Structure 1
Amino acid sequence: MAHLLADEFFLLAHHDVTGRPRLHPRAVGLGLASAVVGELVTTGAVTVSSGHMWVVDPGAPGDPLGRSVLGLLLDEPAHTAVRTWLAVLSERAHRHVARRLVAAGVLRAEQSRRLMRTRTVYVPVDMNTAAWPWARLSMRLRRLEPLDEADLFLAGLATQTGLDTYLLDGADPEVGQHLAVLLHQMRPTFRDLLVHTGAAVGNAVLSGRA
C-alpha cells in the first residue's frame, strides 16, 4: 500500500508496535512538516530555492492536508522563509498526518493516561505495514541500489532528523557513502529543503535541551 511522504516519515519516526516516537518530539514535528512540503514539491504546487519557498501552481492536485497547507502559503505570500514555515507547520503536522493515517486504516488512536494527563497515542494496526518504509529503505540502501525520488527524499529526511542511525544500524560504511552520493544527485529543490530541515531540527533540539 503506497502512502504519501509524510505518512511514510511518520511510520519511520515511530515504533512499529507501540507507536512511540523514535526521535525528540520537535524533530518529529519538523520532519513531518518538511515531508508535507515535500509532497507539495512533488505535485509541482511549491518550489524551494535558497532557503525560500513559494507557490508556483495553486491548482496542483493534492489531498485535503496538502490543500490546507497550500491555502496557508497563499494567504501569507510575504512570508517565504523555509525555516519559518517548517516551524509553523510543525506545530500541527503530527496531529494532521496521524489522522490521515487513521483514516487510511494504518493507525488507531488510543488514549493514554499518565500523571493526571490524558494523551493520544497512535498505534499501528499492522506491524508489517508500519515497518515497511524502514524495511524497504534499509534493504535498498544496504544493497547499494538506486532510489526513486520519494525514497531518496525519505532517506535524506532520515539523515537530517537523526533517524539514519536507526535506518543504517549495523550497515557497512559503504552504505552511508552510497546514500551521500545519491543525495548529492537529487533535485536542488529537495536538497535545499533537506538542508534547512536539518538546520531547524538541530536548533530546535538544542534549544529544547537548554
Structure 2
Amino acid sequence: MNFADFISKLSYRLANYPLPGHEEIVKKMSPNRMRLKGEPNETTRRSGVLLLFYPKGEDIFLPLILRPQYDGVHGGQMAFPGGRAELKDKNIQATALREAQEEIGIKASDVKIIGNLTELYINPSNLLCQPVMGYINYRPDFYPDEREVADILEVPLSDFVNPDTVQTRLVEARGFRFETPGFIIQEQIVWGATAMMIAELIEIMKEIE
C-alpha cells in the first residue's frame, strides 16, 4: 500500500468506526496490567503524544524516541514524542504537536492530523495520555532535544506488524525488575503504554489492509 492510499484508508477508518480500545489488547499482551492500571484522579494531568507517519523510500515510517537515563518514571524508555499539556495549548492535539516539535525538531505546521487513538491512563506518572495520529508528506529532518531525547529511531510500519517483534523481556523500572511483553525494535524493547498504543494501531491496520 502506498503512502497516499494508507493515509486515505486510515483517515476513513478513524472517521467512521469506533476504536478497538485496550481491554482485549491488555488481556492478550499483558494480563497483569489489568491489576495495575488504576484510575485518573483529581491530581491527574493530561498529556499528548504524536504518532507521525511519513514516507521514506517504498515504506511508511514512524519515529520513536529513546528517553535519556534519569531518576524518573520513564527514564531510559522508548516512547512516541510528546509530553504534558500546558495552558497555552489550544487542545490536546496542539499539545502533541508542540511537544513533538520541541523534542524531535519537526515542523509542527506541516503535520496534518488524522485522528486519535484511545486515551490511556498511565498510572506510574499519573497522566491521562492522548495518542494523536498525524502525517507529513516528506521525510522530516530530525533535531533531537538533548535534554529529553537520547536517540530517535525511524521505524518502518512493517516492523510493527511483524509478529516476530512481539517478545517478552526482563525490564527494570524504578528499581524493580520484571518480565513484560513488548515490541523489539532495533534492539530496544518498547513496552508499557507505548506498546498498548502500537497494539491498538495494529488492530486498526488489520481492518484497512
TM-score by length of 2: 0.29
Higher helix share: 1
TM-score by length of 1: 0.29
Higher strand share: 2
